[in-house]
């Protein structure tokens, strides 16, 4: 194989990422998922691997609001102000999901949680800060897979609500 003069076909995506690719294709955006050589487990790692601003990384963070898992697509440049967001979203207090709860709600593991490709649709907020970036990157089911998108597209993909989520200055 090594002596072949041409580049081999790309390896198939991991199962978790195929699920994400399927959800994207079903929404009219096929062929978006990219596999990275470097790990992109955190926003900082993803920004470095993709050579983009950390704020352009959309972290898919799972919280529990009461008993209901919810998704907050958050710019990597700041943390979620959970109290302010729960008030704005008019939902019960938000608390960080455990790794097991993340897995149950999304079918994905922390470090690779994607905005879509979950067993059922989660109530979703898209961080207003993401609208400041013409191109946003989100995880695609594993720490080594991502896809390029925009805040507007994330709203369309998730049926989410656009709200500020970061700390108020």
Sites of contact with ligand 5CA (CB under 6 A): 40-43, 46, 57, 59-61, 96, 98-99, 110-113, 137, 139, 143, 146
- Shortest Å, Cβ 66 to ligand 5CA: 18
- Are 58 and 75 in contact by the 8 Å Cβ rule? The answer is yes
Find the shortest distance in angstroms from Cβ 102 to ligand 5CA: 6
Q: Which contiguous run of DSSP H or E holds residue 24?
A: helix 15-26
Q: Which is nearer to ligand 5CA, 7 or 61 (CB)?
A: 61
Q: Which is nearer to ligand 5CA, 46 or 85 (CB)?
A: 46
Min CB(124)–ligand 5CA separation in Å: 14
Pick the closer one to ligand 5CA by CB: 9 or 147: 147
| C-beta closer to ligand 5CA: residue 96 or 121 | 96
The two beta strands, 57-65 and 68-75, are antiparallel
The sign of the torsion formed by the CA atoms of 106, 107, 113, 118 equals negative
Taken in order 22, 23, 24, 27, the sign of the CA dihedral is positive
Q: How far is the CB of 51 from ligand 5CA (least distance, A)?
A: 13
**Containing H/E element for 17?**
helix 15-26
Helices marked H in 72-169? 82-89, 99-106, 151-158
Closest CB to ligand 5CA: residue number: 59
């Amino acid at each position: 194989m090594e002596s072949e003069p041409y580049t081999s076909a790309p390896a198939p995506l991991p199962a978790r990422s195929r699920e994400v690719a399927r959800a994207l294709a079903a929404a009219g955006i096929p062929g978006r998922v990219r596999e990275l050589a470097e790990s992109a487990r955190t926003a900082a790692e993803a920004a470095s691997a993709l050579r983009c601003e950390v704020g352009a990384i959309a972290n898919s963070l799972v919280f529990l609001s009461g008993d209901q898992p919810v998704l907050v697509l958050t710019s990597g440049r700041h943390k979620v102000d959970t109290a302010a967001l729960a008030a704005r979203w008019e939902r019960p207090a938000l608390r960080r999901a455990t790794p097991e709860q993340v897995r149950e709600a999304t079918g994905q593991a922390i470090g690779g949680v994607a905005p879509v490709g979950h067993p059922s649709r989660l109530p979703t907020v898209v961080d207003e800060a993401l609208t400041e970036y013409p191109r946003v990157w989100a995880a695609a089911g594993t720490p080594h897979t991502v896809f390029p998108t925009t805040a507007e597209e994330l709203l369309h993909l998730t049926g989410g609500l656009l709200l500020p989520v970061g700390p108020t200055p």
